[in-house]
Amino acid sequence: MPLEKDGVMIILSSPSGAGKTTLVKMLSEIDNYEISISHTTRQPRPNEKFNEDYFFVKEKEFKRLIKNEEFLEYAKVFKNLYGTTRTPVIDNLNKGKNVLFDIDWQGADQIKNKKLDYKLITFFILPPSKEVLFERLSNRDMKDKLIVDERMKQFERDVLHWINYDYVVINDDLKKCFLRIKNLIDAEINNDSKDYDSDFIRDHINKLTN
């Protein structure tokens, strides 16, 4: 049983470009919320900060961390390795902080299967449409059309994982999406009724996948 004083684990996953990194950053502005900073072997993007957006490491260092069993979860995503180290997460949860994870479905599955003694809430973020997703990816990864094409192809596969999450949220208007997530977290923590329309979500997924 999770203790009342402990923090809550909140996972946001999505097909690339749907906006989970932006949303995680907005949520981290709330008092008592901390982002779990992942390790990755991918190259930093121009606007990314070392030890803030990621711990950028060489493959050799990543493999050392695997061998030392320091990861709570890790996975290969788009040819690069990504992982969450256990100690900072558990320390924050024990201090009563809510920990935000921006990780993919493989990592979310691993954390779910660990059945840790902390409350876990999982969100899957979707774009309003494929056209909007293409636009967002093109803006973000401006110089690299190949990356955009690869991630649009991957979308078709990634979107299928929505079924394993507690909530699916559509990131149309950023502020509204943020508030929807925040209200669902608060309702989960306080055991209140949830404002969540699963039929609407199913219709949206049908539109995205047909």
Q: Which does 127 bind (CB under 5 to 8 A by kind): ligand ADP, ligand 5GP, none?
A: none
171: nearest Cα among 26, 38, 52, 8: 26
Residue for token digits 């996953």?
Answer: 13
Q: Which is nearer to ligand ADP, 18 or 111 (CB)?
A: 18
Cβ atoms of 62 and 75 within 8 Å: the answer is no
Q: Of 75-83, 142-150, 172-180, 181-189, which part binds ligand 5GP (CB under 6 A)?
A: 75-83
Q: Does 98 bind ligand 5GP (CB under 6 A)?
A: no
13: nearest Cα among 180, 169, 156: 169
Q: Which is nearer to ligand 5GP, 93 or 103 (CB)?
A: 103
Q: Does 84 bind ligand 5GP (CB under 6 A)?
A: yes
Cβ atoms of 11 and 104 within 8 Å: the answer is no
Q: Which does 84 bind (CB under 5 to 8 A by kind): ligand ADP, ligand 5GP, none?
A: ligand 5GP
**208 Cβ contact list (under 8 Å, min separation 6):** 126, 127, 129, 130, 159
Q: Which does 107 bind (CB under 5 to 8 A by kind): ligand ADP, ligand 5GP, none?
A: ligand 5GP
Which residue is at the shortest CB distance from ligand 5GP? Answer: 107
Query: Least distance from C-beta 75 to ligand 5GP, angstroms?
Result: 4
Q: Which is nearer to ligand 5GP, 83 or 127 (CB)?
A: 83
Residue 19 is classified by DSSP as: S
13 phi and psi angles, rounded to 5 deg: -125, 165
Q: Which does 104 bind (CB under 5 to 8 A by kind): ligand ADP, ligand 5GP, none?
A: ligand 5GP
Give the DSSP H or E segment for 60.
helix 59-67
